[in-house]
Amino acid sequence: MQIFLDTADLDAITARLPGGLVDGITTNPSLIAQSGADIFERVKAICEAVDGPISAEVVATDLDGMLAEGRKLRALADNVVVKLPLTRDGLTACRTFAEEGTPTNVTLCFSANQALMAAKAGATFVSPFVGRVEDMGGDGIGLLRDIRTIFDEYGYETEILAASLRSPDHVQSAALAGCDAATIPPKVFDQMIKHPLTDSGLEAFLADWSKTGRGGLV
């Protein structure tokens, strides 16, 4: 499963690149605004730092505006994925970009029917928002499973990019649901690697080793 970082914070991104665990980045207008950076400069810098798909979202809501903004974002780098809202105009823009060979990420997906429409529009990725569905009392992981079932049943190649994931448990459930990718905040990325038994186990191994009076192995 691909792991994307959901952030526009360049330092947070570069700190997590060693090890090759980060497959791409997703941003949204809120994350770019939070960073305080110019969207074009920041997206370009992220694209140079990360070898993988970088989702950059349009802010226009009409078709012509989305097409113009998407083309401007896409011109920044070959790995830009144009992120479009799941609206009627967003899906029309998605179809146009698909015909032009521009990869897309259709975002703000909250139902299996919406995901089906994104797949029909030729989206490269669709982003179901698990955490926000749960905020409303819904079944976010069930939504991922339903989308997986529909895409498999009809052979849609659109990748399911689980989004709005807020905990390692969310990521594990997205993986078990058969998602192609998960986008996570840097904090959740770090939490996925840590386990208290790993820490205490390592501490005990090293304490035993130090009793031998020998140092490191080289």
Catalytic residues, by residue number, are 83
DSSP string for residues in 75-123 = TT-TTEEEEEESSHHHHHHHHHHHHHT--EEEEEE-SHHHHHHHHHTT-
Contact flag: residue 28 with ligand E4P (CB under 6 A):
yes
Instruction: Tell me whether residue 106 or residue 153 sits nearer to ligand E4P (CB atom).
Output: 106
**In the complex, minimum distance from the CB of residue 57 to ligand E4P, in angstroms, rounded to a whole number:** 8
Q: Give the whole-angstrom CA distance, residue 152 versus residue 81.
A: 23
Structure tokens at 84: 């479009």
Residue 164 interacts with ligand E4P (CB under 6 A): yes or no: yes
| Region 192-211 residues binding ligand E4P, contact defined as CB under 6 A | none
Nearest Cα neighbor of 54 from 82, 14, 18, 32 is: 82
Q: Which is nearer to ligand E4P, 102 or 217 (CB)?
A: 102
Interaction residues for ligand E4P, span 89-118 (CB under 6 A) = 107
How many residues belong to the site for ligand E4P (CB under 6 A)? 11
Residues recorded for the chain: 218
Q: Which residues bind ligand E4P (CB under 6 A)?
A: 6, 26, 28, 107, 127, 129, 131-132, 163-164, 183
